[in-house]
Structure 1
């Protein structure tokens, strides 16, 4: 589910009720020039064979978003992190960053 900041009320709210099960679908739906916060719970198998389900905040900040939106979202990252109670924030800029998120979750930055 992607969250947006309403520019009029400055409220962080869900963009829609969509729950994505594939990273490719999520990447296809993200706008090319608007930031988003994405709460991600992603099951994966670690190199040790152990199953993990990290709960992280993806901070989608495309390169070509306008400066006022960039500042508005940058100012809300810690609020979103604390409210969602995630341990990790991962900044992503492109569809490729989203589709390759598993390697980042496994610690290979």
Structure 2
């Protein structure tokens, strides 16, 4: 398998999970039990992409690299989601925080420092 496949699957899974966790924020008039049920349904689909992404990805990446990749993808998807779906603004504070997390990802993938 290509090393690109886990990245693509994690990207898809994160779109689903972002909607499962935050999509209901536009529908605060709906009962919480209904929102939870719908979120769990969406999360099931997310797992159908995330589990194969990690299984396939572990052939090319360490578990720490997969988790780091997941977090960077999550932040990227969430940033777009919050701007385009929730109509929220990203501030310089968000950019700095996300940038620091990406800097951390660099060190995970760079390997041991000597």
TM-score, scaled relative to structure 1 = 0.30
Superposition TM-score, scaled by structure 2 size: 0.29
Structure having the higher strand fraction is: 1
Q: Highest CA radius of gyration, 1 or 2?
A: 2
Structure ranking higher on relative contact order (CA contacts 8 Å, 6+ apart): 2
